[in-house]
Structure 1
């Protein structure tokens, strides 16, 4: 075990140096976070915190991934609050604030309740030192609600947004339970030859280099070059702390600027447009707005990263290829790079999506190809970066993982610079590898001029939802709301349907997913036929859901009606927008 100073917390929640009642260093235990960097962000309740969600499979995944736990009996205890208390004697929390002026903060625990998920479970909020000493929270010292169902979340609360700290959280077990002893790994040697060889394996396809070399040459001449990134939460920067400067997108943009830019590279511009939890089906909806900035931006390089998000793409690659072709078709002939990230279980959709890159001979970079093979090795056998070092959680990279991703893109840039130029451009005027039905997709929301496109009667969907998914765009440390020009139904707005008539071939509805019980489901009718029920609790966190309402080869007039499901009239539902192909 790591050797930490101990701090005990009494029943009143007052922390202070003291000897724990039961010396936890003699107990077996496992980390669910170990020396992880966290960042305070603004929450809806006005607090500034880093939240660590535990529900579902998440706590088990953390026990496996961070703690190395494989015992199925022990993992089974983590699925309920009663099992958790049967297994866990105490929780050790160590927080080292990066700002020396931060002397204290709070550690919070929330269990979800059986009667009302977010209201009837136990909530504890406890002062915690910020100097790296370990606070011990002994479970038997507290009264726990009989309505506790499952562990909900931990949180570390700060006084301001943007505060950084390094945190470790360990679960000490009752006597009779044993887990393997934790081993601290040596730091990653980013300058080693072995690391460079690992990164080189990421080059899945050099591709036709005509467009990418043109962008590099522009940068060398001091001309304006814009690099754009579109993808999911990894492109947004999830796992990177701070998110706006440690994410792979900013790191690779910065590397490109310093490698090729003239006089400091001030002419190199960044567009970052990653949105967590969304596939290319939503990416094609957002492209004009978030990447082309409604015609005000013309990226020279576009990096597309949906390899771990597109499982939810209803078109199974059609929207992905359409997005790639939409980017390639711009008048300024940008280079398009396909980037394949990876999850902790070594999974991505590279086999489905890489044929698109090969079809058009595009540059492709596979983080999976770089890291997965060496993940299976011990340090003695040649492991360069472990999964624990690469992944912040089972989905997202740590700062080190984001650095690897940036370096993989950097290797492509370097290889392109020193390669002989391709004289002929890529050919896109040919049958698609998967499909190209969504190239000409346009966004329609409350701000759109619908005259000549659609007629809309908002009915009871007359309010505007301001509690939206927030995304750190470009190099911003703050979040920007996604789809602010929306239509929301509330309990007070009546029961009339939202009705729209539109002429199109294809139509996508984007609606808000939410963890709030205030939201209910809506029935969707298309051309008088019941198409689906839109459930805002499919994922139970605030983000954007895209679903196809019609997909036809011939444009014709379609009617759409959206009405709250019977019994849900007193709930909320938010139509974030639509996209259509004329």
Structure 2
């Protein structure tokens, strides 16, 4: 990777650049008064990374900069187009603590040959703008697309507010920045918006019992399982401003006596994963291997389940797995939403209706009013609600928490249903994965026969997630099997008896990772390509799904031409 860096304020070796080079240039805002947080990274640094690849930079130009000119948006899709469009970058950072005096800002490009360039500049954190003029840095001919901004701090947990603006070259114009009116969270219009989220109170017996238990000061555990929104993506700080923590905290304030220490939070969100992986993780991440018994389980997969190969079978199986626990927890279905107004509510809500469950739809609350003007009663704009096209801002997470809290309040005021829900009925989609169990390097003894072959190493560069109320990330599936160039060409071989088998492997943007062939009983069933998504996370795929349990042999080997690459088998989910 080619590196260009500077420790001076304007990146040119002199004092802060005067305003003249940008005074008359059109301003394209990419970040505007956005919160950033220093998080510990795998390289030991403390930083906030803002990803720009894929459609992310274009999305930010649309959302923050109000750009609709397709020609300009097209230029942002490549490094060469970016250089044609942008004259300079203005970076303003305002630290939230006086002791944080500087932050290092880096713009990274991804190269066509897995390289790319980096431009870095040291920025004061007093709110003054630092100017990075692109012509002061030689472009790499290998640069393909903008990869990310990185804000590097001197310590973990530091908070700041930042604005990043692209000053455009002559001949390019974008709309001026338009600021929305502040969200009036205490208004009647806001309360009416929140009320629209309540799709169904369902049978309230279990949720009512959990509330009454909390009022008596008895221990109550609230668990959340879902994707990156449940993990807290877009919230800053992620551990305390995500919807899960906010709604848990509001539950404590509403119902728990004294300090609320009797209420426990379990947060098991994991970015980029559907319920197909959620059900594999449930025993480990929610039930903590049988050591916890949640009283309330909130399930949020409405925007992640496009990747569920079972078309809802894993989702319904997960819901039933939670409902059928011996302690009879309340299960709440939560439907989040993307910026394009989409979710899988239509497919998943019938599961809630089938078992008469409480259901909360953020989509129902906010989407209609997004289209309104202020005079028509708009409460919150898309720019205010969304951090990017997928994840909420702090304000959006607050809305989600308030939607759940409204369900809690309505349930508290209602008379308890006398009869409990019934799961003794045919599933509406399927329940084939209810009994799934996680298999990894540590727990396979006596269950399967494994010869790791050339997959004998252990990968430590893993997808991490802020679990529960932790400020740090927990590596996912650490008990794995990894192939490396040095570990040999022998196949990974596993023999087990089961009806269904899910493979979980590592996706990665690292070019040292390659494709593996996956065989079941001597037949090639699929290839594992870690670069389809091209970022480090967990990918769950079905290897077989059969009516009866049979003995199967699973073999995994590197594809032709990828023998010197890496591939990580994170684990398996199997149904006996």
Q: TM-score range by the shorter chain?
A: over 0.9
SS of equivalent residue, structure 1 residue 264: coil
Q: Which runs of 4+ in 1 moved over 4 A?
A: none
Matched residue, 1:92? 90
Measure, in 2, the Cα distance between the counterparts of 1:356 and 1:10. 57
Of 383, 408, 413, which residue of structure 1 is paired with 2:408? 413
Measure, in 1, the Cα distance between the counterparts of 2:144 and 2:285. 40
SS of equivalent residue, structure 2 residue 44: coil
| Per-residue deviation, residues 313-359 of structure 1 (Å, max 9, x unmatched) | 00010000000000000000000000000011111000010000001
> Is 1:185 equivalent to 2:180 in the alignment?
yes
- The alpha-carbon distance between structure 1 residues 188 and 296, as it changes in their structure 2 partners (threshold 3 A), is same
SS of equivalent residue, structure 1 residue 240: coil
Of 397, 400, 408, which residue of structure 1 is paired with 2:395? 400
SS of equivalent residue, structure 1 residue 124: strand
Measure, in 2, the Cα distance between the counterparts of 1:217 and 1:427. 21
Measure, in 2, the Cα distance between the counterparts of 1:260 and 1:431. 36
1:561 to partner: Cα distance: 0.6
1:508, 1:580 within 8 Å by CA — same for their partners in 2?
A: yes
Matched residue, 1:377? 372
Q: How does 1:100-499 map to 2 (within 5 A)?
A: 100-114=98-112, 116-117=113-114, 119=115, 121-451=116-446, 453-499=447-493
| Per-residue deviation, residues 169-200 of structure 1 (Å, max 9, x unmatched) | 11111222111111112211111111000000
Measure, in 1, the Cα distance between the counterparts of 2:275 and 2:89. 40
2:496, 2:553 within 8 Å by CA — same for their partners in 1?
A: yes
Measure, in 2, the Cα distance between the counterparts of 1:522 and 1:420. 56
Measure, in 1, the Cα distance between the counterparts of 2:484 and 2:141. 33
1:111 to partner: Cα distance: 1.3
1:450 to partner: Cα distance: 2.7
Compute the TM-score of the two structures, normalised by the length of structure 2: 0.97
1:87 to partner: Cα distance: 1.1
1:538 to partner: Cα distance: 1.3
SS of equivalent residue, structure 2 residue 23: helix
Matched residue, 2:18? 19
> Is 1:528 equivalent to 2:527 in the alignment?
no
Measure, in 2, the Cα distance between the counterparts of 1:175 and 1:467. 44
SS of equivalent residue, structure 1 residue 467: coil
Measure, in 2, the Cα distance between the counterparts of 1:483 and 1:140. 44
1:20 to partner: Cα distance: 3.4
| Per-residue deviation, residues 485-536 of structure 1 (Å, max 9, x unmatched) | 1111111111111111111110111111111111111110011111011111
The alignment of Structure 1 onto Structure 2 pairs a total of residues equal to 569
Of 527, 542, 546, which residue of structure 1 is paired with 2:540? 546
SS of equivalent residue, structure 1 residue 256: helix
1:108 to partner: Cα distance: 0.5
SS of equivalent residue, structure 2 residue 105: strand
1:40, 1:162 within 8 Å by CA — same for their partners in 2?
A: yes
Matched residue, 2:60? 62
RMSD of Structure 2 on Structure 1 (CA): 1.2
Matched residue, 2:78? 80
2:66, 2:175 within 8 Å by CA — same for their partners in 1?
A: yes
- The alpha-carbon distance between structure 1 residues 560 and 10, as it changes in their structure 2 partners (threshold 3 A), is closer
1:147 to partner: Cα distance: 2.2
Measure, in 1, the Cα distance between the counterparts of 2:210 and 2:11. 62
Gaps of 5+ in 2: 1-7
Measure, in 2, the Cα distance between the counterparts of 1:311 and 1:18. 48
1:26 to partner: Cα distance: 2.1
Measure, in 2, the Cα distance between the counterparts of 1:196 and 1:414. 13
Of 46, 49, 52, which residue of structure 2 is paired with 1:48? 46
1:480 to partner: Cα distance: 0.6
2:235, 2:242 within 8 Å by CA — same for their partners in 1?
A: yes
Matched residue, 1:4? none
> Is 1:501 equivalent to 2:495 in the alignment?
yes
Measure, in 2, the Cα distance between the counterparts of 1:534 and 1:47. 31
SS of equivalent residue, structure 1 residue 566: coil
1:8, 1:20 within 8 Å by CA — same for their partners in 2?
A: no
2:9, 2:124 within 8 Å by CA — same for their partners in 1?
A: no
Measure, in 1, the Cα distance between the counterparts of 2:448 and 2:80. 55
Please, which moves more after superposition, 544-553 or 51-60? 51-60
1:328, 1:334 within 8 Å by CA — same for their partners in 2?
A: yes
SS of equivalent residue, structure 1 residue 155: strand
| Per-residue deviation, residues 43-75 of structure 1 (Å, max 9, x unmatched) | 233322111121221111111111110001111
Matched residue, 2:549? 555
Measure, in 2, the Cα distance between the counterparts of 1:242 and 1:489. 36
Matched residue, 1:514? 508
1:449 to partner: Cα distance: 4.1
1:381 to partner: Cα distance: 2.0
1:8, 1:19 within 8 Å by CA — same for their partners in 2?
A: no
